[in-house]
Amino acid sequence: MEDWVEIGRIEQIPRRGARCVTTPVGRIAVFRTAEDKLYAIEDRCPHKGGPLSQGIVHGAQVTCPLHNWVFSLETGEAQGADEGRVRTVPLNVIDGRIYMAAVAMLAAAE
Amino acid sequence: MKEKLVIIGNGMAPGRALEKLFETDPDRYEVVIFNAEPRVNYDRIMLSPVLSGEKSFDDIVIHGDAWYIQHGITLYKGCKVETIDRVNKTVSSVNGITESYDRLVIATGSVPFIIPVPGANLAGVVTYRDLDDVNTMMIAAKSKGRAVVIGGGLLGLEAAAGLNEQGMDVTVVHVQPTLMERQLDPAAGYLLGESMKARGIKVMTSANTRQILGDKRVTGVEFADGSTIPADLVVMAVGIRPNVALAKTAELAVNRGIVVDAQMRTSDASIYALGECVEVNGATFGLVAPLYDMANVLAAQLCGDDKATFTPVATATRLKVTGVNLYSAGDFAEGDDREEIVLRDASAGVYKRLILKDDRIIGTVLYGDTGDGPWFYDMLKRSVDTREMRDTLIFGQNYQGGAPLDPTAAVAALPDEAEVCGCNGICKSKITGAITAKGLTSLDDVRAHTKASASCGSCTGLVEKLLLLTLGDSYNPAAVQPMCKCTDLGHDDVRRLIIARELRSIPQLMQELEWKTSCGCAKCRPALNYYMIATWPGEYEDDGQSRFINERVHANIQKDGTYSVVPRMWGGMTSPNELRAIADVADKFRIPAVKVTGGQRIDLLGVKKEDLPGVWADLNAAGMVSGAAYAKGLRTVKTCVGSDWCRFGTQDSTGLGIRLEKFMWGSWTPAKVKMAVSGCPRNCAEATCKDVGVICVDSGYDIVFAGAAGLDIKGTEPLCHADSEDEAIEIIAALTQLYREQGRYLERMYKWLKRVGMESIQAAIVRDLTKRRFYYDRFVFSQKFAQVDPWQERVNGKDAHEFAALAEFGVPQAAE
């Protein structure tokens, strides 16, 4: 198994937006910030399971669309008074192509 | 019988005197006021922020109509008094109103000085004195032409900055070598000039105007050296002189101003005068602090207290131009018996100068960093010996006694009698006393009870620190609630600045208004996106990434990440064809739940995101569009069957509901808007708990609004009656537009009403047909760009990335 799997190109994700990658271990949200930084986290808020990919992206943070929890895209940590974290997934970008760490897609697939 | 007190003039000085009078002896007089201006008492000091667009007239009203009613005052608006008959003790106005008096107060203020050069009476030459002047300038500024402001004093510079903010090309012409020479020394005047130039305002000093050029309208200004500059607008702001015309015809003693003694008495025992029109011991006054002192003395006099006397003191000046910090007080001329301490920091644009005589401060000029102004001014007034702190005096209060203090401690160290609010002459102990005695908890409270920081507002920071000091941790400083943590500005400030500074995109706004975050947050971005759409219809391009998911994908997200879809059913009417299409869609896409909503619609629940375009395509094909059940916008117009079917129906409520919905769908509003039309007062459409409701009656349509039946339960308030459907629709559209322009994002209509008051809404929508039409027209204009079905757009491919995964790698497997 290769270490990195290509998932698409950076232009396919809107700035300050996200797209999803479906994997055997669940949806992973891939975010593109206003400054073209890319981050991937699991698309599931630890609070009530909200799809974080559908939230508003500001700086390197996203606000969950269901109950406004805010997560750091860099660390996956909930911000402010809320406690919790989401799994982050390593990405690699080469010439605009986005590669996701294969291990992240298999983590629970054994 | 009560004595009758007649006041000629309705400016800030008599307004303050009346407040004091009512505090001491509310029932003593029957009060009649003649105001030459057609309006209530407002804060003239704040005309400059109105001109620059940072405030509106309503923001600067001191006494609204209600105040006059509460105190039983007869106020004649727009009535200029022409004669005073001192023998029979009556006054008569130009338009024929005569009132008798027991005591008379003359407060006619000042008139702008017009330099007597050829062309001074051309069209396009204006003065800067009252709201009418400001309105004239704002209209002229719309052409974005060239403005020349003659006069580089306080007033002239504020006018120049305001016109510059309005987009005019502005030149300030000043006869003296440096700006504001009466308040500033040449060094600070120079810094001020540079700061004006940095804003794009041209400054000409030592410039002597010879004539104003033009045939009928002004075209330019010519100077003594023969040079000329072009101009479309000339503002004369060279100074004021007391308005003594009326007092002269009444043969009262008049020099430069109306002569009064230290108790504000004129040469006639029944007549007092105060304000800019008077002269005390040969001196006249133009700044507000001494005028308010006069008001206190006059109020005491009117209550029979002869002891209070007016003593002029040095007054401090601030320039009210956003971004320019300037403070001066006292006497700063050089002299052999004087010493001075000067601190300059050129790169930071800071200049501080203290003038001392016998080790006591007699004057100060501060530029750039004015935080210590009140402290210096306080020492000046109390004549404090500064020998002990001489070495560090210029660094300010924080540097006295060792390490710098925190700002609150610095305020704590101010003596009780230190003046905090210069405009209103309010000292520290008066504020802290009022906070404690009256249980005040907010800045607004303090402003209401003490007037501190209620005029020019530059001492707001100090007053807030006093609140913090007095109340401790229980003080919540968010009197103006900032929009979010990304800014200190409140929603209203942001909306005003969007218009005033013509901010047309979110990135531009964040740059200009100094947002603290790089791209906002989930609170401010949707609000800003709405404000942009509402302010610049047709120009602003909607930013989908700044919308909540529901508005971005035009469906309602559910707890499991699926969506619900609600097609529009105009006025709650549907048909077999529509129902068939809905049933087919539900079957085809295996939609698990179909429900009837409270707004007379059908809700398809549990639609997968990737199915949304397919569902919409089928609904579109049957003629249905988005029901906007997700929108901060017009949701539903609920109706009863009305005169078509019902034996009680008085009008065609269904037809009106359909018309309303077809006319108003697609409009974005601060929060959701639900409407209903009931065909008779039995009100089967439940119109009396909607944002806007119509109750049909035999004689027409009763329009009600500001109801709620959610978190809060609230019946509607009556707005007005309309005779025809057309009139009802115009009123409702105008009302909605007013709400679109004033409402804070997520503020429902009932909360908006509670905040702005019924009076202001009815004044704009019911009583003034021109205004109503104005709002209606703006609504119609904005609808031109709003009525595009978002479903169809997406069926045709818009935002396709929203509805498909970026990549798919197998499907999640069940555990076994």
- Chain A residues with CB-CB distance to B801 below 8 A: 12-14, 19
Mean predicted lDDT score pLDDT of chain B: 89
Q: What is residue A1's predicted lDDT score, i.e. its pLDDT?
A: 45
- Cβ of B811 and A22 within 8 Å? yes
Q: What is residue B812's predicted lDDT score, i.e. its pLDDT?
A: 44
pLDDT per position as a tens digit, B157-195? 989 998 998 889 999 999 888 888 877 778 788 888 888
Q: Which of A30-44, B666-680, B802-816 has the lowest mean pLDDT?
A: B802-816
DSSP for B329-360?
Answer: EE-----TT-EEEEEEETTTTEEEEEEEETTE
- Considering only the beta carbons, identify the residue of A23, A51, A57 that sits closest to B545: A57
Residues B556, B617, single domain; the answer is yes
Closest C-alpha to A53, from A83, A31, A76, A26 = A31
Kindly state the average pLDDT of the residues B606-633: 95
Residue B214 has a CB neighbour count (10 Å cut-off) of 18
The answer to pTM > 0.80 is no
- Cβ of B519 and A54 within 8 Å? no
CATH number at residue B281: 3.50.50.60
Higher pLDDT, B596 or B313: B596
Per-residue pLDDT for B323 more than 70? no
Q: What is residue B457's predicted lDDT score, i.e. its pLDDT?
A: 66
- Cβ of A13 and B801 within 8 Å? yes
Q: Which domain holds residue B525?
A: 491-547
Residues B646, B592, single domain; the answer is no
Higher pLDDT, B295 or B52: B295
CATH number at residue B750: 3.30.413.10
Residues B142, B185, single domain; the answer is yes
Per-residue pLDDT for A35 more than 50? yes
Q: What is residue A2's predicted lDDT score, i.e. its pLDDT?
A: 57
Q: Which of A44-48, B33-37, B44-48 has the lowest mean pLDDT?
A: B44-48
Does residue A37 belong to the interface with chain B, where contact is any CB pair within 8 Å?
no
Long-range contacts from B141-145, C-beta under 8 angstroms, 24+ separation:
B141/B166, B141/B167, B141/B168, B141/B233, B142/B166, B143/B232, B144/B168, B144/B169, B145/B169, B145/B232, B145/B233
Residues B642, B764, single domain; the answer is yes
Q: What is residue A107's predicted lDDT score, i.e. its pLDDT?
A: 54
Report the amino acid identity of residue B800: A
Residues B611, B641, single domain; the answer is no
User: Where exactly are the structural domains of chain A?
Assistant: 4-106
> Where do we find the tokens 């499907």?
B811
Q: What is residue B341's predicted lDDT score, i.e. its pLDDT?
A: 86
Q: What is residue B46's predicted lDDT score, i.e. its pLDDT?
A: 84
Residues B147, B293, single domain; the answer is no
Residues B589, B713, single domain; the answer is no
Counting the structural domains of chain B, the total is 5
Number of inter-chain CB pairs under 8 A, A vs B: 95
CA dihedral B259, B263, B266, B268 (to 10 degrees): -160
Q: Which of B286, B302, B318 is the last residue of a domain?
A: B302
> Where do we find the tokens 């004669």?
B83
What is the C-alpha separation between B117 and B138, in angstroms, rounded? 25
Report the amino acid identity of residue B460: T
Per-residue pLDDT for B503 more than 50? yes
Residues B526, B554, single domain; the answer is no
Does residue A97 belong to the interface with chain B, where contact is any CB pair within 8 Å?
no
Q: Are B536 and B504 in contact (CB under 8 A)?
A: yes
- Cβ of A21 and B807 within 8 Å? yes
What is the C-alpha separation between B247 and B235, in angstroms, rounded? 28
Higher pLDDT, B519 or B271: B271
pLDDT per position as a tens digit, B96-153? 999 999 999 999 999 988 888 999 889 899 998 888 899 988 888 888 889 999 999 8
Residue count of chain B, please give it. 816
Mean predicted lDDT score pLDDT of chain A: 89
User: Which residues lie across from B713 on neighbouring strands?
Assistant: B709
Q: How far is the alpha carbon of A102 from chain B, nearest alpha carbon, in Å?
A: 11
Measured between CA atoms, the residue of chain A closest to residue B507 is: A34
Kindly state the average pLDDT of the residues A72-100: 91
Percent of chain A predicted with pLDDT > 90: 71
Per-residue pLDDT for B287 more than 70? yes
Residues B640, B760, single domain; the answer is yes
- Chain A residues with CB-CB distance to B813 below 8 A: 24, 109
Does residue A70 belong to the interface with chain B, where contact is any CB pair within 8 Å?
yes
pLDDT per position as a tens digit, B546-584? 999 999 999 999 988 899 999 999 999 999 999 999 999
Residues 6+ apart with CB under 8 A from B212: B117, B118, B119, B120, B122, B125, B218, B220, B221, B222, B234
Residues 6+ apart with CB under 8 A from B75: B10, B33, B35, B40, B68
Q: What is residue B518's predicted lDDT score, i.e. its pLDDT?
A: 83
Residue B555 has a CB neighbour count (10 Å cut-off) of 26
pLDDT-based confidence at residue B406 (cuts at 50, 70, 90): low
Selected residue of B483, B510, B519 to mutate for chain A interface (largest A Cβ count, 10 A) = B519
Higher pLDDT, B8 or B413: B8
Helix (H) or strand (E) holding B108: none
Residues B578, B607, single domain; the answer is yes
Measured between CA atoms, the residue of chain A closest to residue B813 is: A24
Per-residue pLDDT for B34 more than 90? yes
HSE (CB half, 13 Å, CA atoms) of B421?
25
Percent of chain B predicted with pLDDT > 70: 95
Q: How far is the alpha carbon of A14 from chain B, nearest alpha carbon, in Å?
A: 8
Kindly state the average pLDDT of the residues B580-591: 97
pLDDT-based confidence at residue A52 (cuts at 50, 70, 90): very high
Greatest mean pLDDT range, B28-42, B312-326, B391-405, B454-468: B28-42
Closest C-alpha to B696, from B708, B720, B679, B684 = B679
Selected residue of A27, A45, A54 to mutate for chain B interface (largest B Cβ count, 10 A) = A54
Does residue B358 belong to any structural domain of this protein?
Answer: no
Residue B797 has what DSSP assignment?
T
Q: What is residue B222's predicted lDDT score, i.e. its pLDDT?
A: 94
Residue count of chain A, please give it. 110
Residues B775, B640, single domain; the answer is yes
Kindly state the average pLDDT of the residues B616-626: 95
CATH of domain A4-106: 2.102.10.10
- Chain A residues with CB-CB distance to B522 below 8 A: 55-56, 58, 63, 68, 70
- Cβ of B517 and A58 within 8 Å? yes
Q: Which of A55-59, B420-424, B705-709 has the lowest mean pLDDT?
A: B420-424
Residues B90, B67, single domain; the answer is yes
Residue B682 has a CB neighbour count (10 Å cut-off) of 12
- Chain A residues with CB-CB distance to B808 below 8 A: 21-22
Percent of chain B predicted with pLDDT > 90: 53
Per-residue pLDDT for B679 more than 90? yes
Q: What is residue A110's predicted lDDT score, i.e. its pLDDT?
A: 39
Q: What is residue B456's predicted lDDT score, i.e. its pLDDT?
A: 67
pLDDT-based confidence at residue B229 (cuts at 50, 70, 90): very high
Report yes or no for ipTM above 0.95: no
Closest C-alpha to B80, from B111, B120, B125 = B111
